[in-house]
Structure formats: C-alpha cells, structure tokens
Chain A
C-alpha cells in the first residue's frame, strides 16, 4: 500500500441510505433541535411531486415553516439573500435541502447567513472563513451525481461581477444526508446517465489525483463498483428502486472520496466547457472522463489498472494481461458512454459535438474550443492533476473529445 506523506480524510455528514430513509428525517431534526425547518428546493423537484413525498413523511414533531421552490439551475447570490430573509421571516431553525447541486449550494449559502446573522455572504467566501457550527441542515439529493450532500463546498454565482464564489469549510457539510430511492425514481434516463457519470468521474479522479489517499481510494472503488454494476440496468428499468438506491449510494461515496482527494483535469476541462457553453456538467464529465484517464495514463498506470476490477469485475480483470488493464479501464469508460448513448435513445453524448440544448442546438461549437482551453487554465482543479497541463494540452484533449477520436498519446508531454 502506497501511502502519501500527509493526507486528511473527513466526512461528518450522518448518512442514512435506504428505501425508507426519508422517514428518519423527523427524528434527525428533533435530535438536532430543528423542528421548524424551511424546505429549499426547485420547481422541477416540486413539479415531480417530491416535495409532497417529503411532507408526507414528516410527522407531528416537525412543522415546516415555509417551502421555497424558486432555486435557479445555477445558484446565485440574490437567491441566497432572498431565501435567508424568508428563513428569518418565518422563524425557521433548520433547513431541508431537497434537490440537486444548485439547491444544496443555495441551502449552504442560506445557512451561512442565517447562522451567522450576517448579511454579507462574501465575507465567508474562500477557505475556512467559518469558525462555528451552522444551523441544522438535512440534505436530500434528488439526483445521484454531484455528491453535494456530503461535501464541504458551495459554489454560488455572483452574476453582477461575472464570477463564481467558492465557499469551503467543514461547517458547510450538511448534518445529515438522506438517500432514498423515491427521490430519484422519476429522473429521466439522460439525466440519470449524465449524473451517474458525473459521480463516476468523481470516483475515478479521486483515485488518480495527487490528493488521493487510502481512505478516499477505498470509498471511490466502492462507488465505482456500485455505479458500474447498476447504471445501465437502471436506465433500462427506471423504477428499479434497489438500483436507484445503489446509484445514490455510489454518488455519495464518490462525493466523500473526491472531497478528500480533489479532482483533476476531467473537472478542469468540464468546468470550462460548462462555463463557456452552458452545457450540463454531468454530460461534460461523461465525455471527458476517458480522455482525462488517457492523458494521465503514463503517470497513473497501476492506479488505472486497479480501476478495472470495480468497473468490469473479477473475471474480466483476471482475463486481462496486467500490462493491458489500465488501457482496458479507459476503454471500458468509453464503452459505457456508448452503451448509455444507445440506452437513452441517443440522448447521452459521447462527443463534445453531440452535446445539445433542449431545442436541438449544438452547445459546444468547435470554434469555442480555444476559449474553453483558455478558461480551463484558471480552474483550481488543474493543480491536482497527475500530469501538467498547459493551453496546448487542453486544446489537444478538447479537440479529440470534440471529434470522438482517440487521444494521440505521443503528443502528451511527460512532465
């Protein structure tokens, strides 16, 4: 076992995963003194009837003071301030965050303001600006991908200044993460595929990047096995509750892994594609993941080879020559994208040029690749990638991912 000179691993959220996990929420809130929660969610979640399911399980111990379902797709400062005002107005003492990454990030931002009695969220941006516990926050994810329910990070947009604010603190970690398959049963197949591939990219990068450690790797391998085994069957049978729970559990495990080891170039490039082209994060991750693995192959071969076991199982691993296992793991991810493409009726993208808006318009035009490459250089995750990346490297990978062509490994600089 290779162990780094120094590492940290922590994940303080109380995880509850099960078919009836929602029923644990009243007890959780009561034990934390949070019997008067605000529910923060978005309109898609509300329309899907998930708020109703949540309200049905809250018993007489809990009085929901207000339900706020206006969180936008990209969490922003204005929303956070508005919701903090509502929290105070209704006399809430806890938050239930019901949704995906944006809802979770918004809830974390609101919790900062209401717990510190501050009206200046900017004062808490950056790392470790919080020094006290916040009010009770229960996270109920409605996608199985971001892992935000177990991370200590929030990203909130500041549209007026054209920037995204990063908040990092152990106190931002939700007190509890409740994983219940009822919350993801209605996810459309393409969203299920993209979010699960997002989680897979968290797990894979957690195993490869410079902050990896034995605990993050163990969590990541468990996540990879769950996602690999259950993703395609769930796409084919969307109401399969055990499979949905397995994906939600895998996403949480991947969240625990990457938040303790950080991520690398797949996220570096994926953030940039999302930022420049407004493409869905999970889709970008899915397309770029095999390219990030290939780019780092020469520096991470044994680690990549190890991934073949949780991805493809013991039989495939044993049948593959040791020298071929790393490449086979990369190929396996590419094939997974192809399988998802077929299983979703072509909605799941396998190349950057395939990523489409709901109206069918291509979201990532080739002429924007240089701008994306330039944007990527400003992403913090670049520092954790095993191999160095400069503008030319980013562009080379983006062009290959755009065309769906194999990466020319001879062009990868070996720093």
Chain B
C-alpha cells in the first residue's frame, strides 16, 4: 500500500499576550468588520466580553454580542445575525459557544436546511464566513476540529475549522482541576498517538509541539489546582499562562483530530463507557483516552517503529538521546505512567491509572486490546 500523507489545518493559531490586540488587524485582513460575538454566561460574568471590546476599541470594528443561555433560541440568533448585517463570528468561550457559532455559520452560508441531515467529509465544500475562536479554558480539541454537532447531528468539514484561534492568558477563566485533567490528558493522548502511529510528518510536527505543551503545564496546574476555582471568574494570575498553554495544546489536538479521525484512543472512550459496569461512574473522556493510550503503547512496543521517538517530546533531547534505542519505547511508556501516577496524587479521591483500576474486567480489557491494536503500522514511505 502506498501511503498518502494528507494534512490540512485551516486555522491560524495566535498565542500570547498581544493576541487580542492583533485581532482587529486579522479580521480586516479577512474583510470582516462587523463580527457577531457569541459568548456564554460565565465569560460574560467574568467580564471577558469587555476585555474583547477594549481590544477592539478605536478600530473599525463594530461588535455585536449575544450571550448563550438555556433559553437562547438558535433561530433568534440566526435572524439577529442576518438582519443586523454581521459578517463574521467570534466565539468567546468553549464547547456550546463554538458549536453554536459553527452551526450558525453553516446555516447562514448553506441555508438552514443544511442542518436537517448530517454531512460528512466532502459535503460542505464552500468556505464559510470568518470564524474566530477565543477559548476561555482548555478543552478537548473538538472546538478547533473540522466538525460540529447540532441537534444530535454530526457535520464534518475542514471548512468548519475556525479561521483563527486566539489563545491568550487574558481570557482564561478559573478552571476546576477535573477539567484541567480532562483537557490535558485528552490532548496528550491525541498527540502521542498521532506522533507514534500516524506516520504523517505534518501531524507529527503539530503533535510534538502539543505534547511539549502538555508536559510543561499539566502536572504543575494539577498540583496548584485551586478547587475553589470558578468558571465565572478569571483564573488566578499564576494559572493564566499555564491554562493558556494547555488550551493551546487542546487546539493543536483538534487540528490533529481533523486530519486523523480514526485515532484509537478516541474510539476507546465510547467503548469504555459502554462496557463500564457503572457508565455514569466511568472515567472522564480525557482519562479514558490516556488509559487507552497506555494500553495501546504497551501492546505496540515491539511493533511500532516510532514509539521510541515519542520519548523525545515527552522529555527532552538529552534524556531521549541518553536512552539506548531499544529501551526508548519502554522509557516513553514509563514517562506517561509516571505522569498518571503523579496526577493521581493530586486528586483527593485518586484516579485510576490502568483500565483495570477503571473498573474493567479482564475480559473487557481483552476486548479493548483488540480495539486498541494497529493491524498495519503506517510508516512514512522512506
């Protein structure tokens, strides 16, 4: 089989303290002068809409603002956008905020009927209106992926990726420790699997950066976790930058998901939840993915040629080069296990570090092993 490496990332990442200040320039570069800002109550309560407005003050931009509430009607937002002549979207928030902005964009550009049936790759070919994504806490990668969910329907297209992801400490809200763990572990699993198994040098480059960002921030964030952190307040000063880095890693994992939709650690989430003796008590999706990753790596240590190289982004050049080649796969898995162990100690009630500890029976683990096996290792054709 000849391997064809595809990679498409439509999103420009703008990271750092000046990211918001650059936004008006970037929007005008896309001919967008009247963006419709969609946010949620938590971001609004924390005054992040004012932070955004200050960044756009004295520019040519005219911002409109809608705050998603339970009562907010999609149709109302649709007509508001169309009637007021907005020309672009800014999603200030994560999860529902971004999914709503993507669905609105789809409806406005392709007609509301487009949302009545799911659309797979190749069915949404026309570009959509400019969409800027400003996360307010680290998420699991879905926000920057080329997909959205609307009324239980799944839409997939690279055109659904945001045009710009503006990631800055200035918009990070207080994030509970559980959400930090979920995001960090999901990003780590996505990036590690892409790095070790995809054979795609473009995906591997993004993954390398994503893994470094997680390894840099996840454990310190978990150790400093202020369990009083509230989503409706800005994060504490000392946590803002690490949270932004973790949000950056999540954005990167979204780019990777868009290009590698069959990652096994993601498939494992649904499987683990389905077979778990108490589905409501199943580990969070990020933890599921991390446990699945470890299992996948253990199963592939002798067959995956790139697994040893995973030690490089997980540690550093000196550590990687200091471990003889044959020992690198084991060393890489050990680093991840050690991280899980250290994270477990930061959680008051502990957390599972293996699929067995997560409540799966040996039979169920055996089933998972079948799922978590690459029958054909993709290698670059050189």
Contact = CB atoms under 8 A, between A and B. Distances in A.
Contact of A18 (B208, B317, B381): B381
A221 B208 contact: yes
A4 B168 CA distance: 12
B213 A6 contact: no
Contacts of A169: 29
Contacts of B208: 218, 221-222
Which of B17, B201, B204, B213 has the most CB atoms of chain A within a 10 A radius of its CB? B201
B120 interface: no
A15 B202 contact: yes
A267 interface: no
Contact of A222 (B205, B213, B245, B382): B205
Interface stretch (B3-11, B68-76, B77-85, B330-338): B3-11
B56 interface: no
Interface string B240-262: 00000100000010000000000
B30 A131 contact: yes
Nearest to A315: B321
Contacts of A13: 8
A145 interface: no
Given A19-B381, A253-B202, A11 B9 contact: yes
A29 B363 CA distance: 49
Which of A15, A16, A215, A217 has the most CB atoms of chain B within a 10 A radius of its CB? A215
Given A131-B28, A219-B205, A318-B322, A3 B317 contact: no
Contacts of B9: 10-12
A131 B14 CA distance: 19
A33 B125 CA distance: 9
A239 interface: no
A214 B202 contact: no
B125 A31 contact: yes
B380 interface: yes
Interface string B299-338: 0000000000000100001101110010000000000000
Contacts of A126: none
| Size band of the interface chain B makes with A | 35 or more
Interface string A241-252: 011011001001
Interface string B27-44: 011110000000000000
A10 B7 CA distance: 13
Contact of B29 (A7, A9, A170): A170
A215 B216 contact: no
A5 B169 CA distance: 10
Interface string B361-382: 0000000000000000000111
A140 B340 CA distance: 45
Contacts of B22: 6, 8
B13 A215 contact: yes
Contact of A4 (B10, B12, B16): B16
A57 interface: no
A19 B4 CA distance: 7
Contact of B317 (A1, A12, A306): A306
Contacts, number: 138
B254 to A, nearest CB: 14
B51 interface: no
Interface in A34-90: none
B4 A6 contact: no
Contact of B382 (A24, A246, A306, A309): A246
A5 B16 contact: yes
B195 to A, nearest CB: 10
Contacts of A5: 16-18
A17 to B, nearest CB: 5
A219 B18 CA distance: 23
Interface in A316-332: 317-318, 322
A7 B8 contact: no
Contacts of B322: 318
B232 interface: no
B151 interface: no
B150 interface: no
Interface residues of A, number: 56
Contacts of B321: 309, 314-315, 317-318
A409 interface: no
A226 B382 CA distance: 9
A390 to B, nearest CB: 29
B2 interface: yes
Contacts of A249: 5, 201, 380
Interface string A86-105: 00000000000000000000
Given A15-B6, A242-B381, A1 B125 contact: no
A414 interface: no
A170 B8 CA distance: 15
Nearest to A11: B9
A128 interface: yes
A32 interface: yes
Contacts of A7: 14-16
Contacts of A24: 4
Given A16-B6, A17-B5, A10 B11 contact: yes
A253 B5 CA distance: 13
A217 B213 CA distance: 13
Nearest to A181: B381
Contact of B320 (A3, A16, A226, A314): A314
Interface string B167-210: 00000000000000000000000000000000001101110110
A218 B4 contact: no
Nearest to B122: A31
Interface string B132-163: 00000000000000000000000000100000
Contact of A15 (B7, B12, B317, B318): B7
A132 interface: yes
Interface of A: 1, 3-21, 24, 31-33, 128, 130-133, 169-170, 213-215, 217-219, 221-222, 226, 230, 242-243, 245-246, 249, 252-253, 256, 306, 309, 314-315, 317-318, 322
Interface of B: 2-19, 22, 25, 28-31, 122, 125, 127, 158, 164, 201-202, 204-206, 208-209, 212-213, 216, 245, 252, 312, 317-318, 320-322, 325, 380-382
Instruction: Report, nearest first, the 9 A-B pairs whose CB atoms are least far apart.
Output: A10-B12, A6-B16, A18-B4, A242-B382, A131-B31, A6-B18, A246-B382, A318-B321, A218-B208
